[in-house]
Amino acid sequence: KAGVTQTPRYLIKTRGQQVTLSCSPISGHRSVSWYQQTPGQGLQFLFEYFSETQRNKGNFPGRFSGRQFSNSRSEMNVSTLELGDSALYLCASSSATSYNEQFFGPGTRLTVL
């Protein structure tokens, strides 16, 4: 069974631009969660999608948004990028709920210049 995949793996953007990251969950998994990881703040929960609906949301500004498609693939969008958005963005999938075991992708390393 293929694992969680994320594209692209690396991304360099400049301040003010926007970016879209993609996550394909493990086949059969319907829950996708997104996390931001930085050296200063550690891992922080962004949001969770289940069956195309946002089911849970962390404390991030509205510049961070996401969506999920009918095939459970998910995208995360960040608009008006700031230097502080530089981070490793991780997505995780689970079979039904966010408190089932989560399986993580390799992450997308975003650098904002």
Partner 1 sequence: KQEVTQIPAALSVPEGENLVLNCSFTDSAIYNLQWFRQDPGKGLTSLLLIQSSQREQTSGRLNASLDKSSGRSTLYIAASQPGDSATYLCAVTQVSNYQLIWGAGTKLIIKP
Which residues of this protein are in contact with partner 1, per CB under 8 A? 4, 6, 33, 35, 42-45, 48, 55-56, 58, 88, 90, 92, 97-99, 101-107, 109
- Best CA proximity match to 89, nearest among 4, 1, 3: 4
- Least distance (Å) between residue 106 CB and partner 1: 4
- Least distance (Å) between residue 47 CB and partner 1: 10
CB atoms within 10 A of CB 28: 10
**Closer Cβ to partner 1, 35 or 85, answer by number:** 35
* Contact (Cβ atoms closer than 8 angstroms) between residue 67 and residue 74: yes
Contacts of 13 (CB under 8 A, 6+ apart): 19, 81, 110, 111, 112, 113
**Closer Cβ to partner 1, 79 or 88, answer by number:** 88
- Least distance (Å) between residue 99 CB and partner 1: 4
Residue type, 41: Q
Tokens of 45: 């929960």
**Closer Cβ to partner 1, 17 or 96, answer by number:** 96
**Closer Cβ to partner 1, 42 or 62, answer by number:** 42
